[in-house]
Structure formats: structure tokens, C-alpha cells
Structure 1
Amino acid sequence: MLVRALLAGLPTLVLCVALQALFVSLALKCYDRMRPRAGARLTQWRSVKLLSAIMMLMLLGNFLQMGLWAFLFRLLGEFADFPSSLYHSAVNFTTLGYGDVVMSPRWRLLGALEAANGILMFGVSTAVMTAAVIEMLRLEARSRNDDAK
């Protein structure tokens, strides 16, 4: 039973990792396109737009991963409708673990696998956003130093 659940969840896990990598790549390209070029100032409005774009991209990537897990749960016949499957997936992915909706014992381990996937992917998303903030602070400090000269 354990092996069956792991084998069923592994392809979804691999897809989620690839999807997260795609969204990290998109966030980096977005950052590069929107960041100020040499000599330009980083305005507060540009900072807000840039960080909002990065956050929304990472959040969208996480939502899509929840949808992939929900699709797997439906495919396995665990839920009668997609909204219930998506709700359960979101509870697992975010590690809330309400317990109000549970899967059958046969597939229950998939919830833990999805939770491990979710906590890892939220960590990656946080790292991307933190890196963007650090880079923006660095650009702002450089701009202030250039102004002081």
C-alpha cells in the first residue's frame, strides 16, 4: 500500500518540482525586465510593482501545483468533484491539516507527500521573494551612494 501511494504520487511530485522551477525562472526574467537599469533610481512604485509581480508569480505556481494534486486525487477516485479535491489539496499543500476531509486509507499517504511538497515549494517561493528584496535593497544602497558622491 505504501509503495503504491508513493508510485502514484511521484509523477505529480516531479511535475510540481518542474512547475516550481518554471515559475522561479519566470520570476527571475520578470525581475530582470522590471528592475532599474544602471543609473536609474528604484522608486517606491517600481519596488511595489516588482515585488508584487514576483509574489503573484510564485503564488500562481503554488496554486497550479495544488491543482495538479487535486487532479491526481480525482483521477484516483478519492473525491466526487473537483472543488472538494482542490479544497483537500490546498489543506494538504499548505500543511493546515484540518482533517475535516480525508482520503481513504489506501491513498492517505499522498496527503503527507503533498504536504512535504507544499512546504518545500513555499520555502522556495519565500527564498525567491527574499532574494528580490535583498537585491532591491542593494540597488537602493548603491543609488544612495552614487548620489552622495
Structure 2
Amino acid sequence: MYSSIFFAWGLAAITVVVHAVGLALMLRFLDHRGNVLMRQLGAISMRLVWVACYMVLLHLLAISIWGTFYVWQECLPDFETAFYFSGVTYATIGYGDVLLGKPWRLFGLMEGLTGILMCGLSTGVFFAVVNHIYQFIHTKNDDDHQS
């Protein structure tokens, strides 16, 4: 029981680290890209699509880590089933067609809680990116009107 809690907390911590590092790298990349073209609708759309796809990849990486653990511990029969279960649990969809056995049920709870926190973090960062674009456009428009 206690080793299960230790592993569940460990996986949650790994998930948070993956997102923290991934989001930090993404923000650094966006900072270096600059905002030169952020007045064009196509450039804004492409940036938001890129950010969304990058975040989805971060979530898929986290889901893969949990799924790999389930296969390693023989909680689920194969990686496809483990990845499916992990994705449904992480996103808190919870179809219930694949379940963990009694000694592992705590992992589903921990993965769901961690997943919803990471989805919330991604939503917050996505909102910050949109706000940054809006502020850039608003500032540029004010500068153009004052000239």
C-alpha cells in the first residue's frame, strides 16, 4: 500500500516536472521568436495552433509515462490498453471500460487529479499567450495612433 502511494506521488511529480520544463522551453522559444508578425491574422493563428499542438504533445508524453508504468507493473496487459486507460483517466473522461485491479486503483485517482491540474496549467499558459498577443497588438495600435 505505502509503496503504491510512493509510486503514485512519484509519477505525479514526474508529470509536473515534464510540464514545467516543457512549458518553460516553449515560453523561451516564443520569447526568442519575437512578435514582429503578431499583427497579422495568419501569424497569430499559426502561433496559437503551434502552442496548442505543443501542449497536446506534452500531455501525450505524460500519458505515455503513466501508461508505461502500468505496463511495467503489469497492471494492464499491453501498452495500447495502458495508453488508452491513461489518456481517459488523465483527461478525466473515465469511460470505465478498462479498470485497474484493486491494489492499483489509487493510481487512477492520482493520475486523474494530476491530469486535471496539468490541463488547468496548460489552459492558464494558453490564456497568457493569448493575452500577450492582445497586449502586443493593443500597444502597437496605441503607438501607431500617437505617431
| TM-score, normalization by structure 2 | 0.93
Distance 1:59 1:145 in 2: 35
Gaps in structure 1 of 5+ consecutive residues? none
The yes-or-no answer on 1:61 pairing with 2:76 is no
Match of 1:132 in 2: 129
Distance 2:94 2:45 in 1: 33
Distance change in 2, residues 1:41/1:132 (3 Å): closer
Asked if 1 retains the 8 angstrom alpha-carbon contact of 2:85 and 2:99, the reply is yes
Q: Percent identity?
A: 27
| Aligned residue runs from structure 1 range 112-123, under 5 A | 112-123=109-120
Asked if 1 retains the 8 angstrom alpha-carbon contact of 2:38 and 2:133, the reply is no
Match of 2:74 in 1: 77
Distance 1:66 1:41 in 2: 32
Gaps in structure 2 of 5+ consecutive residues? none
Dislocated runs of 4+, deviation >2 Å: none
State the aligned residue count.
146
One-letter code of the match for 2:105?
R
CA shift for structure 1 position 41: 5.5
RMSD (Å), alpha carbons: 1.3
CA shift for structure 1 position 85: 0.4
Match of 2:21 in 1: 22
